[in-house]
Structure 1
């Protein structure tokens, strides 16, 4: 896997997928702090753009930093900038999933002139002061009441919210994150633990990571096109919460995937790739 050095000397890696057509699409994984392998080829998006999928520090092929406090999301913004420089890009198309929405928005606030387009896929927005509440999660879960696995998932979900969940409970709630609990989703979910850095995930949103008022002021000057892609069945964010995030970003557009969960490229690859590829094509200079 190709590597480069972060400003603090930590060696970071990334993988690529797809051909050479168009500008690279730099992809930031969520989790938080899950190796980029779970993104796969983003439902076939690699057929439209060359994907550059970063392993955040301490995940996948990237080294564990000497200072574990640098797992905090705002302290990883320089890593994204170092990748841009390493790739030789004046501006970059940036895609972020889930918790990486905080990283991408933090990067856009710090380096607005370096972002050519921003795609936020079922993304968090704590950097803007947007939180996903337990009620949001319950609302999304209730949409799955007709599923055969729902009673066990609903019971386990309350234990997760109470902080008393066992490993078995976490397994039971997994279907809530997918629009279709099929073999592909089950395999994808089963890889979560081995792909994730639990310590890093706990430090990701540590105290001091977010300054929402400053970030909102900085993002208000962003001129790059922004797409927020939400799933109809997702609890983080619910579509209306994604709409609230979009309202904070000049010119941002929102697309809600019917039947989509938290990993929408698995639920309906055609809808996902068609929508995101069209957005990227619009953003690319002629």
Structure 2
């Protein structure tokens, strides 16, 4: 079989430039993920049948929450990257912690930032924490999908070396080895973005939002599973390498998610439906 290697094209990391101002693809991914997630969350809140009654969060409260969850994503994502992935470098170059345009964000840190935002906002506004967590994680795959596509466009976080006979093996221009590799960014976009969104959407349609914590726990557990699978094809960060043979930092950080997710799902399923649907709603979940 003749090897079919894809020579990855070089994309300009800057998507839009107007004079001295530049917007990068990665920034657009964050903006697009937040805006589309907000719109999807609003549509979920408007459908009382999904909640078995009035939604526990109002549209006005959701609009206010967007600012806080955005801060949680950015501050948590950057803090997680600094602590988990490149702490020695940032100790020596502390000012570069604030240079977000150079890249360097951690999903696990961003997720913890979102958790803190959900808890803080819920307590401040008297909202059920688990329900707001369900709403937040229901829309999260949209941002994950766009973020991984931005990683692909930026030719970063590429995969491990692949068999040259693999039809979609790619040579990334920023890779000094020029070896064929898995496009692991696309694997992650598919698993963490598309597949996870579809699974959660189906669960929502069949009444998962009526059991607080079920979508939240499912997201946590399924993301952890998807990330561990994706890490099998992703090249570990150069400054970290592997831990204990073939384990990566992404895998280690995802293991606790499997445990927490399973606990939340089990608790949600044990509790009775907190919003009993009417017979007509039960007939059309």
TM range (shorter): under 0.3
Greater per-residue strand proportion:
1
Greater per-residue helix proportion:
2
Find the structure with the greater CA-based Rg: 2
What TM-score results when the alignment is normalised by the length of structure 2? 0.28
